[in-house]
Structure 1
Amino acid sequence: MKIVITCHLPNDIIQPLEERYDVVMWEKSSEPMPRERLLKEIEDADGLFTNVADQINEELLERAKKLKVISTMAVGYDNIDVAAAKRKNIVVGHTPGVLTEATADLTFALLMATGRRIVEGMDVIRQNQWKSWAPFFLTGQEIYAKTIGIIGMGRIGLGVAKRAKGFSMDILYHNRSRNQEAEQELQATYCDLDELLTKSDYVVLLAPSTENTYKMIGKEQFAKMKNTAVFINTSRGTNVDEEALYHALKEEEIFAAGLDVFDSEPISSTHPLLSLRNVTVLPHIGSAAIETREEMARLACQNLLNGLEGRPLVHEVK
């Protein structure tokens, strides 16, 4: 049987696959397999190792005459047409859990860098603009003992809340259901979205990408935030109306934004948000810790092996 891997992985990680199957792996580590190559390779593939950079849509699935299992190296799977896969009896696996702590680390790091204007400070030095000390030079927002509002109290949201507790922050959260662990162990307070937006000094978006969360944060929501508020998004770019965010930042309706994700990725250096001083951006690296990415890759490989050998996937998208 044949397996297609759309990204370049270390040899020791794919060895269990190569011992059993014919593996076609994209050779470049800096970019995903081109769409045309993927469409060709998928025609006789039994297994597909993919990630968020690939669009696994109905067009591709119609060409996949032998495909039995799709395994994505990610928690989210909004780039995969799961319904179309199910119609063709293709099982879909993903990698939740293993990236929780790395993404929570990155989220809180982005929160701190944005609130305290860390990247702006580095740019000032690089551009030789640091001339002297001044009382209000590059002043940002305090973090300690402030209020954080977390939208989406899943595994990663809980991880961010634990880090916020270490900074003595008051924790508000909004979720589809109550999180008893967050409330009992961290004294987090459940509230509706409007209350969270109104009261929070830091608004952190960690909601999944669904029809209900599409552009859930827009003009109306930014208008409810404090003008000193810092907005952080490490969930999905499609959850935010970027035009409304640009307006809110430019007009200083909110203080700043830290973004690891965008509506359409990758973005270019001419993206409108990059023209603003009060934006800190990252290239979708929420889980980009070496140990985490290696574990994600191994789990995705195990999902593939299980699916091809007729065993339940470790984590199957239902």
Structure 2
Amino acid sequence: MQSQSNPIYPVLWQDNQVLLINQTLLPNQYEVVKINSYQDMAKAIKTMIVRGAPAIGIAAAYGLYLGARDIKIQERETFFKELEIIAEELRQTRPTAVNLFWAISRMLKTVSETAGTVEDIKQILLKTAQEIQAEDLETCQKMGDNGLLVLPPEPQKLTLLTHCNAGALATAGYGTALGVIRSAWTAGRLERVYADETRPRLQGAKLTAWECVQEGIPVTVISDNMAAHCMQKRLIHAVFVGADRIAANGDTANKIGTYGLAVISQMHNVPFFVVAPLSTIDFELANGDLIPIEERHPSEIYQVGETRLCPDGVDYYNPAFDVTPANLIKAIITEKGVVKPSELLTLKG
């Protein structure tokens, strides 16, 4: 068994406020941002101080509570209208991550089902946000255990590749894809993790690598265009990625570059797995063509820090996500078990 370090919690409720690890500064600087209003939370989500679909959902749930806390109206119907305005502002922050919408919907459903005063409703909202956070941590640990079931049999130790960051920083504190890798490390099955740097925001190089270093997990960072070479040289046994939204047929939206990774995985007979909680599955969308793809500011491409990479006068295209077709995914690992993409509907509650 491998030793474990202190857990990483990117979203924390403490002293009547939300504490966020500022992921835009890692790995060079560790900073905690204090959030006391829904406006501050919306800004934190939009600017990627907090990121990763499950973590965004948790942050949005707390953001909705913070907004509710500041509403001074005591009449229920007027309170509900004010709360919906706050919810809509939070929804607009990141359009692709379905956990954001799922968490807000759950919070509003709790409101509609709660009798009592406005103050009673506010307390229930806080309790629900805390439940969402606790459930996500438990869910991630279950996915980590379920992911062990798809690994090749012992005694082989494995080298696994992941893209972007789907770890503790992207969830309540354990991870989806990186959660499986954590579980493999704890079980003594992991030799090394390869982390795609994940252009343009470098979440793999900055965040996944940072998490691995914190826990002593051997990690090798590669540029995104090295993955095919590594597979050709038989350095990779399997690929595990997270998801921001999964359609009912198994098509999966994840950080830009995931689709290309799935294509080359199939070419080299490397199994490609998606790890995501049920809250990431959008059963209302028939396929991935219907998933909205967020486009971000071109500065993410043309500069790194204060250094400009591109000449003036060029155009940019900066989609934050792409969609991997279900036929490229060997299996989807959830808290309820491992299923083929075509079997997703069997998990619908």
Question: Which range, TM-score by smaller chain?
Answer: 0.3 to 0.5
More helix by share: 2
Greater Rg, structure 1 or structure 2? Answer: 1
For normalisation by structure 1, the TM-score amounts to 0.39
